[in-house]
Amino acid sequence: VTTYWCERALLDGAVAARVSIEVVEGRISAITPRSDAVPGATRLPGLAVPGLANAHSHAFHRALRGRTQQGPGSFWTWRELMYGVAARLDPDRYHRLARAVFAEMVSAGFTVVGEFHYLHHQPDGTPYDDPNAMSEALLAAATDAGIRITLLDTLYLHGGLGSNGYEPVSGPQVRYRDRDVDAWTDRVSAIPTSAGARIGAALHSVRAVDPTSARMVAAWAADRDAVLHAHLSEQPDENEACLAAHGITPTQLLADAGALNEPTTVVHATHLTGDDIGELGAARVTACICPTTERDLADGIGPTAELVAHGVRLCIGTDSHAVIDPFEEARAIELDERLRSGQRGTHPAADLLDAATLHGHRSLGWDDAGVLEVGARADLVAVRLDSVRTAGSTDDVAVAALVFAATSADVTDVVIDGRHLVADGRHSTIDVAAELTAAIAEVVSP
Ligand SMILES: [Zn+2]
Protein backbone atom coordinates (compact mmCIF):
# COMPACT_ATOMS: atom_id res chain seq x y z
CA VAL A 1 0.00 0.00 0.00
CA THR A 2 1.21 3.48 -0.91
CA THR A 3 -0.37 6.36 0.98
CA TYR A 4 -0.72 9.94 -0.22
CA TRP A 5 -1.70 12.52 2.36
CA CYS A 6 -3.39 15.56 0.81
CA GLU A 7 -3.70 18.90 2.56
CA ARG A 8 -6.99 19.17 0.71
CA ALA A 9 -8.72 16.99 -1.85
CA LEU A 10 -11.78 17.34 -4.03
CA LEU A 11 -14.24 14.63 -2.91
CA ASP A 12 -17.79 14.47 -4.28
CA GLY A 13 -17.44 18.00 -5.59
CA ALA A 14 -16.48 19.49 -2.22
CA VAL A 15 -13.10 20.46 -0.78
CA ALA A 16 -12.18 18.11 2.09
CA ALA A 17 -9.27 18.78 4.44
CA ARG A 18 -6.47 16.41 5.48
CA VAL A 19 -7.32 13.50 3.23
CA SER A 20 -5.40 10.25 3.30
CA ILE A 21 -5.61 8.27 0.03
CA GLU A 22 -4.35 4.70 -0.06
CA VAL A 23 -3.29 3.10 -3.33
CA VAL A 24 -2.95 -0.57 -4.16
CA GLU A 25 -1.79 -1.70 -7.60
CA GLY A 26 -2.48 1.70 -9.15
CA ARG A 27 -6.02 2.07 -7.82
CA ILE A 28 -7.49 3.98 -4.91
CA SER A 29 -8.24 1.47 -2.13
CA ALA A 30 -9.27 3.84 0.67
CA ILE A 31 -10.03 7.54 1.18
CA THR A 32 -10.04 8.97 4.70
CA PRO A 33 -10.80 12.67 5.26
CA ARG A 34 -9.79 14.52 8.44
CA SER A 35 -6.90 12.15 8.85
CA ASP A 36 -3.69 12.92 10.70
CA ALA A 37 -0.60 12.83 8.53
CA VAL A 38 0.42 9.19 8.21
CA PRO A 39 4.10 8.39 8.85
CA GLY A 40 5.74 7.45 5.58
CA ALA A 41 2.96 8.95 3.47
CA THR A 42 3.80 11.22 0.56
CA ARG A 43 2.46 14.67 1.33
CA LEU A 44 0.61 16.51 -1.45
CA PRO A 45 0.27 20.27 -0.91
CA GLY A 46 -2.58 22.54 -1.97
CA LEU A 47 -5.70 20.98 -3.44
CA ALA A 48 -5.60 17.47 -4.95
CA VAL A 49 -7.98 17.03 -7.88
CA PRO A 50 -8.56 14.04 -10.17
CA GLY A 51 -6.34 13.49 -13.18
CA LEU A 52 -6.88 15.91 -16.05
CA ALA A 53 -7.57 14.60 -19.55
CA ASN A 54 -6.18 16.11 -22.73
CA ALA A 55 -8.73 14.71 -25.17
CA HIS A 56 -7.27 16.22 -28.34
CA SER A 57 -3.58 16.46 -29.20
CA HIS A 58 -1.40 16.53 -32.29
CA ALA A 59 1.94 16.18 -30.53
CA PHE A 60 4.10 17.55 -33.36
CA HIS A 61 2.23 20.85 -33.51
CA ARG A 62 4.11 21.77 -30.32
CA ALA A 63 7.09 22.62 -32.55
CA LEU A 64 5.06 25.48 -34.03
CA ARG A 65 4.65 27.36 -30.75
CA GLY A 66 5.83 30.95 -31.17
CA ARG A 67 6.50 30.33 -34.85
CA THR A 68 2.94 30.67 -36.06
CA GLN A 69 1.43 33.05 -33.56
CA GLN A 70 2.54 36.22 -35.32
CA GLY A 71 1.79 37.73 -38.69
CA PRO A 72 -1.42 37.76 -40.71
CA GLY A 73 -3.25 34.80 -42.18
CA SER A 74 -5.89 32.24 -41.35
CA PHE A 75 -6.30 28.59 -40.43
CA TRP A 76 -5.26 27.75 -43.99
CA THR A 77 -1.97 29.70 -43.92
CA TRP A 78 -1.22 28.19 -40.49
CA ARG A 79 -1.76 24.77 -42.04
CA GLU A 80 1.06 25.38 -44.54
CA LEU A 81 3.50 26.05 -41.66
CA MET A 82 2.26 22.92 -39.87
CA TYR A 83 2.85 20.85 -43.01
CA GLY A 84 6.47 22.06 -43.05
CA VAL A 85 7.16 20.53 -39.63
CA ALA A 86 5.31 17.34 -40.55
CA ALA A 87 7.61 16.91 -43.54
CA ARG A 88 10.71 16.73 -41.32
CA LEU A 89 9.48 14.05 -38.94
CA ASP A 90 10.55 10.42 -38.94
CA PRO A 91 9.84 7.81 -36.25
CA ASP A 92 12.96 8.58 -34.18
CA ARG A 93 12.50 12.33 -34.30
CA TYR A 94 8.81 11.96 -33.56
CA HIS A 95 9.57 9.74 -30.57
CA ARG A 96 11.94 12.35 -29.13
CA LEU A 97 9.54 15.24 -29.76
CA ALA A 98 6.43 13.46 -28.46
CA ARG A 99 8.19 12.20 -25.34
CA ALA A 100 9.06 15.78 -24.39
CA VAL A 101 5.58 17.07 -25.28
CA PHE A 102 3.85 14.31 -23.30
CA ALA A 103 6.16 15.05 -20.35
CA GLU A 104 5.12 18.72 -20.61
CA MET A 105 1.51 17.52 -20.42
CA VAL A 106 2.20 15.38 -17.35
CA SER A 107 3.89 18.34 -15.66
CA ALA A 108 0.75 20.37 -16.37
CA GLY A 109 -1.47 17.77 -14.65
CA PHE A 110 -2.66 15.72 -17.60
CA THR A 111 -2.87 12.01 -16.82
CA VAL A 112 -4.18 10.86 -20.20
CA VAL A 113 -3.83 12.12 -23.75
CA GLY A 114 -5.92 11.47 -26.83
CA GLU A 115 -3.37 11.61 -29.62
CA PHE A 116 -5.19 12.31 -32.90
CA HIS A 117 -2.57 10.76 -35.10
CA TYR A 118 -2.50 11.06 -38.88
CA LEU A 119 1.22 11.27 -39.76
CA HIS A 120 1.54 7.62 -40.70
CA HIS A 121 3.86 7.09 -43.67
CA GLN A 122 7.20 8.00 -45.26
CA PRO A 123 7.60 11.38 -47.01
CA ASP A 124 6.78 9.84 -50.41
CA GLY A 125 3.65 8.22 -49.01
CA THR A 126 4.89 4.63 -48.94
CA PRO A 127 4.47 2.82 -45.63
CA TYR A 128 7.51 2.29 -43.40
CA ASP A 129 8.82 -1.30 -43.25
CA ASP A 130 6.89 -1.45 -40.02
CA PRO A 131 3.68 0.29 -41.18
CA ASN A 132 2.94 1.36 -37.60
CA ALA A 133 6.39 2.83 -36.91
CA MET A 134 4.95 6.30 -36.26
CA SER A 135 2.12 5.00 -34.06
CA GLU A 136 4.60 2.95 -32.06
CA ALA A 137 6.87 5.99 -31.63
CA LEU A 138 3.94 7.84 -30.05
CA LEU A 139 3.04 4.92 -27.80
CA ALA A 140 6.65 4.61 -26.65
CA ALA A 141 6.77 8.35 -26.00
CA ALA A 142 3.69 8.12 -23.77
CA THR A 143 5.23 5.22 -21.85
CA ASP A 144 8.44 7.23 -21.35
CA ALA A 145 6.52 10.24 -20.04
CA GLY A 146 4.26 8.11 -17.83
CA ILE A 147 1.00 9.37 -19.35
CA ARG A 148 -1.81 7.03 -20.41
CA ILE A 149 -2.67 7.35 -24.07
CA THR A 150 -5.56 6.65 -26.36
CA LEU A 151 -4.00 6.59 -29.80
CA LEU A 152 -6.73 7.90 -32.08
CA ASP A 153 -5.43 6.45 -35.31
CA THR A 154 -6.80 8.71 -37.98
CA LEU A 155 -8.17 7.90 -41.40
CA TYR A 156 -7.23 10.51 -44.01
CA LEU A 157 -8.06 9.58 -47.59
CA HIS A 158 -8.62 12.78 -49.55
CA GLY A 159 -6.77 16.08 -49.97
CA GLY A 160 -9.89 18.21 -49.69
CA LEU A 161 -13.50 18.61 -50.71
CA GLY A 162 -14.08 20.93 -53.67
CA SER A 163 -17.01 21.75 -55.87
CA ASN A 164 -16.12 18.73 -58.02
CA GLY A 165 -15.96 16.37 -55.08
CA TYR A 166 -13.01 14.87 -53.24
CA GLU A 167 -9.55 15.95 -54.33
CA PRO A 168 -6.44 13.75 -54.30
CA VAL A 169 -3.91 14.20 -51.50
CA SER A 170 -0.91 16.33 -52.39
CA GLY A 171 2.36 17.47 -50.85
CA PRO A 172 2.82 16.40 -47.21
CA GLN A 173 -0.70 14.94 -47.17
CA VAL A 174 0.63 11.82 -48.95
CA ARG A 175 2.10 10.82 -45.57
CA TYR A 176 -1.36 10.88 -43.97
CA ARG A 177 -3.17 8.71 -46.48
CA ASP A 178 -3.85 5.02 -46.20
CA ARG A 179 -4.81 3.37 -49.50
CA ASP A 180 -8.39 2.79 -48.38
CA VAL A 181 -10.35 1.81 -45.30
CA ASP A 182 -9.29 -1.83 -45.57
CA ALA A 183 -5.63 -0.84 -45.55
CA TRP A 184 -6.32 1.38 -42.54
CA THR A 185 -8.10 -1.37 -40.59
CA ASP A 186 -5.34 -3.90 -41.41
CA ARG A 187 -2.69 -1.48 -40.17
CA VAL A 188 -4.54 -0.29 -37.08
CA SER A 189 -5.53 -3.80 -36.02
CA ALA A 190 -1.81 -4.67 -35.87
CA ILE A 191 -0.77 -1.88 -33.46
CA PRO A 192 0.58 -3.47 -30.26
CA THR A 193 -0.81 -2.02 -27.03
CA SER A 194 0.13 -2.14 -23.38
CA ALA A 195 -1.59 -1.51 -20.05
CA GLY A 196 -1.42 2.27 -20.35
CA ALA A 197 -2.50 2.45 -23.98
CA ARG A 198 -5.70 2.05 -25.94
CA ILE A 199 -6.46 2.36 -29.62
CA GLY A 200 -9.33 4.48 -30.83
CA ALA A 201 -10.46 5.44 -34.31
CA ALA A 202 -10.58 8.90 -35.82
CA LEU A 203 -12.02 10.43 -38.97
CA HIS A 204 -9.85 13.37 -39.85
CA SER A 205 -12.78 15.45 -41.14
CA VAL A 206 -15.42 15.43 -43.84
CA ARG A 207 -12.77 17.09 -46.03
CA ALA A 208 -10.55 14.02 -45.82
CA VAL A 209 -13.04 11.16 -45.40
CA ASP A 210 -16.02 10.41 -47.67
CA PRO A 211 -19.36 9.17 -46.26
CA THR A 212 -18.89 5.52 -47.27
CA SER A 213 -15.49 5.37 -45.62
CA ALA A 214 -16.81 7.14 -42.52
CA ARG A 215 -19.51 4.49 -42.21
CA MET A 216 -16.93 1.67 -42.41
CA VAL A 217 -14.73 3.22 -39.70
CA ALA A 218 -17.74 3.82 -37.43
CA ALA A 219 -18.68 0.13 -37.79
CA TRP A 220 -15.08 -0.93 -37.07
CA ALA A 221 -15.05 1.16 -33.87
CA ALA A 222 -18.45 -0.12 -32.73
CA ASP A 223 -17.34 -3.73 -33.27
CA ARG A 224 -14.31 -3.22 -31.05
CA ASP A 225 -15.85 -0.96 -28.40
CA ALA A 226 -13.30 1.64 -29.47
CA VAL A 227 -13.97 5.34 -29.14
CA LEU A 228 -14.41 7.38 -32.33
CA HIS A 229 -13.25 10.99 -32.71
CA ALA A 230 -13.66 13.42 -35.62
CA HIS A 231 -12.84 17.05 -36.32
CA LEU A 232 -16.17 18.76 -36.96
CA SER A 233 -17.03 22.15 -38.43
CA GLU A 234 -13.91 23.95 -37.27
CA GLN A 235 -14.12 26.34 -40.22
CA PRO A 236 -17.05 27.79 -42.20
CA ASP A 237 -15.29 26.75 -45.43
CA GLU A 238 -15.60 23.11 -44.42
CA ASN A 239 -19.36 23.50 -43.98
CA GLU A 240 -19.74 25.28 -47.31
CA ALA A 241 -17.74 22.61 -49.16
CA CYS A 242 -19.78 19.85 -47.56
CA LEU A 243 -23.07 21.55 -48.37
CA ALA A 244 -21.96 22.14 -51.98
CA ALA A 245 -20.79 18.56 -52.50
CA HIS A 246 -23.35 16.62 -50.45
CA GLY A 247 -26.20 19.02 -49.76
CA ILE A 248 -25.93 18.43 -46.00
CA THR A 249 -23.85 19.75 -43.10
CA PRO A 250 -20.82 17.84 -41.77
CA THR A 251 -22.83 16.91 -38.64
CA GLN A 252 -25.62 15.47 -40.79
CA LEU A 253 -23.07 13.60 -42.91
CA LEU A 254 -21.57 11.95 -39.82
CA ALA A 255 -25.04 11.18 -38.45
CA ASP A 256 -26.10 9.56 -41.74
CA ALA A 257 -22.88 7.51 -41.70
CA GLY A 258 -23.71 6.12 -38.26
CA ALA A 259 -20.70 7.91 -36.76
CA LEU A 260 -22.56 9.86 -34.05
CA ASN A 261 -23.08 7.68 -30.99
CA GLU A 262 -22.45 7.97 -27.29
CA PRO A 263 -18.75 6.94 -27.49
CA THR A 264 -18.18 9.54 -30.23
CA THR A 265 -16.33 12.79 -29.61
CA VAL A 266 -16.59 15.64 -32.08
CA VAL A 267 -13.68 18.05 -31.93
CA HIS A 268 -14.26 21.84 -32.12
CA ALA A 269 -17.96 21.81 -33.14
CA THR A 270 -17.58 25.54 -33.76
CA HIS A 271 -19.88 26.39 -36.68
CA LEU A 272 -23.13 24.48 -36.17
CA THR A 273 -26.75 24.95 -37.18
CA GLY A 274 -29.60 24.54 -34.72
CA ASP A 275 -30.39 21.18 -36.31
CA ASP A 276 -26.76 20.11 -35.92
CA ILE A 277 -26.87 20.90 -32.19
CA GLY A 278 -30.09 18.90 -31.79
CA GLU A 279 -28.55 15.97 -33.66
CA LEU A 280 -25.40 15.98 -31.52
CA GLY A 281 -27.45 16.17 -28.33
CA ALA A 282 -29.79 13.35 -29.34
CA ALA A 283 -26.75 11.18 -30.10
CA ARG A 284 -25.28 11.93 -26.62
CA VAL A 285 -21.87 12.66 -28.12
CA THR A 286 -19.08 14.51 -26.34
CA ALA A 287 -17.71 17.74 -27.82
CA CYS A 288 -14.03 18.45 -27.32
CA ILE A 289 -13.47 22.19 -27.12
CA CYS A 290 -9.92 23.44 -27.73
CA PRO A 291 -10.21 27.15 -26.97
CA THR A 292 -6.55 28.20 -27.05
CA THR A 293 -6.12 26.66 -30.49
CA GLU A 294 -9.48 27.91 -31.74
CA ARG A 295 -8.57 31.47 -30.76
CA ASP A 296 -5.04 31.14 -32.16
CA LEU A 297 -6.39 29.95 -35.52
CA ALA A 298 -9.24 32.48 -35.61
CA ASP A 299 -11.71 29.60 -35.82
CA GLY A 300 -14.51 31.26 -33.86
CA ILE A 301 -16.40 30.44 -30.64
CA GLY A 302 -18.58 27.35 -30.59
CA PRO A 303 -22.12 27.22 -29.13
CA THR A 304 -21.15 25.47 -25.89
CA ALA A 305 -24.22 26.72 -23.97
CA GLU A 306 -26.62 25.26 -26.54
CA LEU A 307 -24.64 22.03 -26.83
CA VAL A 308 -24.82 21.42 -23.08
CA ALA A 309 -28.51 22.38 -23.00
CA HIS A 310 -29.14 19.66 -25.61
CA GLY A 311 -27.29 16.97 -23.66
CA VAL A 312 -23.78 17.13 -25.15
CA ARG A 313 -20.96 16.64 -22.65
CA LEU A 314 -17.89 18.83 -23.01
CA CYS A 315 -14.23 17.96 -22.64
CA ILE A 316 -11.03 19.86 -23.40
CA GLY A 317 -7.99 19.47 -25.66
CA THR A 318 -4.81 21.44 -26.20
CA ASP A 319 -4.85 20.44 -29.88
CA SER A 320 -2.07 22.53 -31.51
CA HIS A 321 -0.42 23.19 -28.11
CA ALA A 322 -0.41 26.96 -28.46
CA VAL A 323 -0.19 26.45 -24.69
CA ILE A 324 -0.43 23.26 -22.63
CA ASP A 325 -2.50 24.31 -19.64
CA PRO A 326 -5.70 22.52 -18.57
CA PHE A 327 -6.94 25.45 -16.51
CA GLU A 328 -6.62 27.88 -19.39
CA GLU A 329 -8.65 25.59 -21.69
CA ALA A 330 -11.33 24.93 -19.06
CA ARG A 331 -11.94 28.55 -18.08
CA ALA A 332 -11.90 29.66 -21.71
CA ILE A 333 -15.06 27.63 -22.36
CA GLU A 334 -16.95 29.88 -19.95
CA LEU A 335 -15.08 33.10 -20.66
CA ASP A 336 -15.47 32.78 -24.43
CA GLU A 337 -19.17 32.04 -23.90
CA ARG A 338 -19.44 35.31 -21.94
CA LEU A 339 -17.95 37.21 -24.87
CA ARG A 340 -20.23 35.45 -27.33
CA SER A 341 -23.49 35.75 -25.41
CA GLY A 342 -23.08 38.73 -23.09
CA GLN A 343 -24.13 36.42 -20.23
CA ARG A 344 -22.06 35.29 -17.24
CA GLY A 345 -22.26 32.04 -15.35
CA THR A 346 -23.31 29.56 -18.05
CA HIS A 347 -20.71 26.92 -17.19
CA PRO A 348 -20.00 26.72 -13.42
CA ALA A 349 -16.44 26.04 -12.29
CA ALA A 350 -17.38 22.54 -11.10
CA ASP A 351 -18.77 21.68 -14.56
CA LEU A 352 -15.61 22.98 -16.22
CA LEU A 353 -13.49 20.81 -13.92
CA ASP A 354 -15.70 17.80 -14.77
CA ALA A 355 -15.08 18.52 -18.46
CA ALA A 356 -11.33 18.59 -17.84
CA THR A 357 -11.31 15.39 -15.77
CA LEU A 358 -14.20 12.92 -15.87
CA HIS A 359 -15.68 13.69 -19.29
CA GLY A 360 -12.26 13.80 -20.94
CA HIS A 361 -11.32 10.41 -19.57
CA ARG A 362 -14.65 8.95 -20.76
CA SER A 363 -14.17 10.50 -24.18
CA LEU A 364 -10.93 8.54 -24.44
CA GLY A 365 -12.41 5.26 -23.19
CA TRP A 366 -11.04 5.34 -19.62
CA ASP A 367 -14.26 5.04 -17.65
CA ASP A 368 -12.48 4.24 -14.39
CA ALA A 369 -10.53 7.49 -14.09
CA GLY A 370 -11.09 11.22 -13.64
CA VAL A 371 -12.71 11.02 -10.19
CA LEU A 372 -11.38 10.52 -6.66
CA GLU A 373 -13.25 7.48 -5.37
CA VAL A 374 -12.41 4.00 -4.14
CA GLY A 375 -11.77 1.67 -7.06
CA ALA A 376 -10.82 4.43 -9.50
CA ARG A 377 -7.37 4.71 -11.04
CA ALA A 378 -5.07 6.51 -8.62
CA ASP A 379 -4.54 9.76 -10.52
CA LEU A 380 -3.90 12.76 -8.28
CA VAL A 381 -3.00 16.29 -9.32
CA ALA A 382 -1.92 18.68 -6.56
CA VAL A 383 -2.42 22.38 -7.30
CA ARG A 384 -0.92 25.11 -5.13
CA LEU A 385 -3.31 27.37 -3.28
CA ASP A 386 -0.49 29.63 -2.06
CA SER A 387 1.02 30.87 -5.35
CA VAL A 388 0.72 34.49 -6.39
CA ARG A 389 -2.22 33.44 -8.56
CA THR A 390 -4.14 31.33 -6.05
CA ALA A 391 -3.21 32.80 -2.64
CA GLY A 392 -6.13 33.98 -0.57
CA SER A 393 -8.60 31.36 -1.78
CA THR A 394 -10.50 29.72 1.06
CA ASP A 395 -12.03 26.26 0.78
CA ASP A 396 -15.40 27.60 -0.37
CA VAL A 397 -13.84 29.30 -3.42
CA ALA A 398 -10.89 26.98 -4.04
CA VAL A 399 -12.43 25.23 -7.07
CA ALA A 400 -13.36 28.52 -8.71
CA ALA A 401 -9.90 29.94 -7.95
CA LEU A 402 -8.30 26.87 -9.46
CA VAL A 403 -10.42 26.93 -12.63
CA PHE A 404 -10.41 30.69 -13.16
CA ALA A 405 -6.93 31.69 -11.95
CA ALA A 406 -4.50 28.77 -11.64
CA THR A 407 -2.07 27.86 -14.40
CA SER A 408 -0.08 24.74 -15.13
CA ALA A 409 2.78 26.36 -13.18
CA ASP A 410 0.73 25.83 -10.00
CA VAL A 411 0.77 22.04 -10.42
CA THR A 412 3.30 20.67 -7.92
CA ASP A 413 2.63 16.94 -7.92
CA VAL A 414 1.16 14.46 -10.37
CA VAL A 415 0.38 10.83 -9.62
CA ILE A 416 -0.69 8.58 -12.51
CA ASP A 417 -1.92 5.04 -11.83
CA GLY A 418 -0.33 5.35 -8.40
CA ARG A 419 3.09 6.45 -9.72
CA HIS A 420 4.42 9.74 -8.37
CA LEU A 421 5.69 11.24 -11.64
CA VAL A 422 5.90 14.94 -10.83
CA ALA A 423 7.13 16.31 -7.50
CA ASP A 424 7.84 19.98 -6.75
CA GLY A 425 6.76 20.75 -10.30
CA ARG A 426 9.49 18.58 -11.86
CA HIS A 427 9.03 15.48 -13.98
CA SER A 428 10.82 12.59 -12.30
CA THR A 429 12.68 11.24 -15.36
CA ILE A 430 12.57 13.84 -18.13
CA ASP A 431 14.15 17.30 -18.26
CA VAL A 432 11.16 18.69 -20.13
CA ALA A 433 12.50 22.06 -21.26
CA ALA A 434 15.86 20.65 -22.38
CA GLU A 435 14.26 17.80 -24.33
CA LEU A 436 11.72 20.14 -25.94
CA THR A 437 14.54 22.44 -27.04
CA ALA A 438 16.54 19.63 -28.61
CA ALA A 439 13.61 17.84 -30.23
CA ILE A 440 12.09 21.01 -31.71
CA ALA A 441 15.44 22.11 -33.14
CA GLU A 442 15.48 18.90 -35.19
CA VAL A 443 12.19 19.61 -36.93
CA VAL A 444 12.01 23.36 -37.55
CA SER A 445 13.78 25.11 -40.37
CA PRO A 446 16.71 27.28 -39.23
ZN1 LIG B 1 -7.06 18.78 -34.22
* Of 61, 120, 268, 321, catalytic: 268
Q: What is the CA radius of gyration of the chain?
A: 21
The better pLDDT of the pair 446, 230 is held by 230
pLDDT digits (tens, 9 = 90+) for 23-79: 999 999 999 999 998 889 999 999 999 999 999 999 999 999 988 887 788 888 888
268 is catalytic: yes
| SS3 at position 148 | strand
90 is catalytic: no
> What is the pLDDT, as a whole number, of residue 173?
92
* Interval between CA 232 and ligand 1 midpoint (Å): 10
**Statement: residue 445 has pLDDT above 80:** no
* Interval between CA 384 and ligand 1 midpoint (Å): 30
* Interval between CA 16 and ligand 1 midpoint (Å): 37
* Interval between CA 9 and ligand 1 midpoint (Å): 32
pLDDT digits (tens, 9 = 90+) for 108-124: 999 999 999 999 999 99
* Neighbour order of strands in the sheet with 228-232: 52-57, 110-117, 148-155, 197-203, 228-232, 264-268, 286-289, 313-316
pLDDT digits (tens, 9 = 90+) for 184-211: 999 999 999 899 999 999 999 999 999 9
> What is the pLDDT, as a whole number, of residue 79?
86
* Interval between CA 56 and ligand 1 midpoint (Å): 6
pLDDT digits (tens, 9 = 90+) for 121-178: 999 999 999 999 999 999 999 999 999 999 999 999 999 999 889 999 999 899 999 9
Q: What angle do CA 138, 142, 145 make, to 5 degrees?
A: 135
Overall average pLDDT of the 408-412 stretch? 98
Can you tell me the distance from the alpha carbon of 321 to that of 335, in angstroms, rounded to the nearest whole number?
A: 19
> What is the pLDDT, as a whole number, of residue 401?
97
pLDDT digits (tens, 9 = 90+) for 330-352: 999 999 999 999 999 999 999 99
* Interval between CA 78 and ligand 1 midpoint (Å): 13
Distance of CA 372 to the CA centre of its chain: 20
* Of 319, 351, 413, 417, catalytic: 319
pLDDT digits (tens, 9 = 90+) for 268-315: 999 999 999 999 999 999 999 999 999 999 999 999 999 999 999 999
* Interval between CA 362 and ligand 1 midpoint (Å): 18
> What is the pLDDT, as a whole number, of residue 84?
86
| SS3 at position 27 | strand
- Describe the crossing of helices 91-107 and 432-441 by its angle, rounded to 10 degrees: 150
* Interval between CA 410 and ligand 1 midpoint (Å): 26
User: The whole model's pTM is what?
Assistant: 0.97
* Interval between CA 323 and ligand 1 midpoint (Å): 14
pLDDT, mean over the chain: 96
> What is the pLDDT, as a whole number, of residue 446?
65
Distance of CA 314 to the CA centre of its chain: 12
